[in-house]
Amino acid sequence: MKMPGKLILFLLLCLFGTISAGDIEQGELKKTLKVGKNGFLEVYTTLGTIQIVPWDKNEMLIETKGLYGDDADKVKITQTGNIVKVSYEQGGHPDEVNFIISLPAQHNVTLSTSSGDIIVSGTLKGELKGSTSGGDIKLGRVEGLVNLNTSGGDITAGDILSNAAFSTSGGDISIGEVSGMAEVRTNGGDIKVKSVGEKLSATTYGGDIQIGSIEGDGQINTYGGDIHIESVSGNAEVNTAGGDIYLSGASGKVRANTQGGDITLNKISGSVDARTRSGSVIVEMLSAGKSRSTILASDGTVTLYLKEDIKATIDAKIRMRGWKKNAFHLTSEFDAKKNAGVDEDNNEIKATIPINGGGEIISIETANADIEIRKLGSRNKPGKPE
């Protein structure tokens, strides 16, 4: 039995959203769709900024700015149930074209633009994925998983109540609180993260990194800049090819390595591996951990603060190059009567100091600089950089 043409048209209109002449005003598109919560939106455009505006209405308003003449009616909009797709692959000026989409806050969104910014205003209560080949990413609060990248722009985001992954090929990254895991990467810019509820991986190939608290393990790397971390509840691995490292506290093992800068590690409960090729090292240990610790400075002063009841064995050595044997000093507040021995044949000052009967080995080595082993209570202020 043949279906009448009008009935077929009616069913198609119920299934797919369409653009009518009434949807376009002065060359710009404005279309409203009925949608429910927990829906899906996909937007793809070859140019222009995409802005998402969450609201409390059970409808979606799709607007365009900067498309004139025949361009506006070339925007394709389809709706299948609670799934809406918007696409545009025509011409226009990328700095002028904007897609502004208001939708229920409980929505999952995927966005892609080849030239423009990605913006989410307010609070989105769903997953957010997307990419831009040339623009910034600016987010408010997202209560869902986030995975976004830009090939050339900055990334700024508020709080993320889930896992988050951000990457940019050339720009800064600044994020608020992330309740889950976070992976942050930039090929050329600074990174700033307020806090992470689980594991954090942060990498920049040229910039400073500033992190608040990490409630898990932290892997932090920069190939040219300073690193500043407030606290890590798990293990921490921190590396810079050229800059200072500062860590306020860590509950697990700490590995810190800089090719040129100072290292300051405060309130460390696990073992420590700290190495600098050019700079001083200050370490504050609350316990000796469960494995050997190593502190190595090629030509800088090493100062180790230890909790007074700690059980450890210090194995310290100063290598002297072309200097008189009394030019540098190895001192300890834990054993004032013990004098460090001088190995004149090898031009070294060495000492093995058991503290409270001995324990895990803490190996310290530097060249042409002093080594100081002090009681934690004698420290007035933490060695925080200005």
pLDDT bracket for residue 67 (50, 70, 90) = confident
Pick the residue with more confidence: 25 or 218? 218
Domains of the chain by residue range: 27-74+92-135, 262-386
> Helix/strand/coil (H, E, C) string of the chain?
CCCCHHHHHHHHHHHCCCCCHHHEECCEEEEEEECCCCEEEEEEECCCEEEEEEECCCEEEEEEECCCCCCHHHCEEEEECCEEEEEECCCCCCCCCEEEEEEECCEEEEEEECCCCEEEEEEECCCEEEEECCCCEEEEEECCCEEEEECCCCEEECCECCCEEEEECCCCEEEEEECCCEEEEECCCCEEEEEECCCEEEEECCCCEEEEEECCCEEEEECCCCEEEEEECCCEEEEECCCCEEECCECCCEEEEECCCCEEEEEECCCEEEEECCCCEEEEECCCCCCCEEEEECCCCEEEEECCCCCEEEEEEEECCCCCCCCCCEEECCCCCCCCEEECCCCEEEEEEEECCCCEEEEEEEECCCEEEEEHHHCCCCCCCC
Structure tokens at 63: 């607007």
Q: What's the confidence (pLDDT) of residue 73? A: 82
Structure tokens at 269: 């409960």
Structure tokens at 166: 């951000």
> Coil, strand or helix: which one is 376?
helix
| Whole-number Å distance between alpha carbons of 309 and 370 | 24
**H-type alpha helices, the chain:** 5-15
Contact 210, 189 (CB under 8 A): no
pLDDT bracket for residue 14 (50, 70, 90) = very low
Q: pLDDT of 110-131, one tens digit each?
A: 999 998 999 999 999 999 999 9
Q: pLDDT of 251-267, one tens digit each?
A: 999 999 999 999 999 99
Read off the amino acid at residue 71.
D
* Overall residue count recorded for the chain in this entry: 386
Global pTM reads 0.90
pLDDT bracket for residue 377 (50, 70, 90) = confident
Q: pLDDT of 181-218, one tens digit each?
A: 999 999 999 999 999 999 999 999 999 999 999 999 99
Q: What's the confidence (pLDDT) of residue 380? A: 63
Is a pLDDT exceeding 80 seen at residue 324?
Answer: no
Q: pLDDT of 230-289, one tens digit each?
A: 999 999 999 999 999 999 999 999 999 999 999 999 999 999 999 999 999 999 999 999
Across the chain, what does the average pLDDT equal? 89
Q: Do strands 371-375 and 330-332 pair parallel, antiparallel, or not at all (unpaired)? A: parallel
Of 172, 270, 171, whose CA–CA distance to 218 is shortest? 270
Cα-flanking dihedrals φ and ψ of residue 15, to 5°? Answer: -85, -40
pLDDT bracket for residue 344 (50, 70, 90) = low
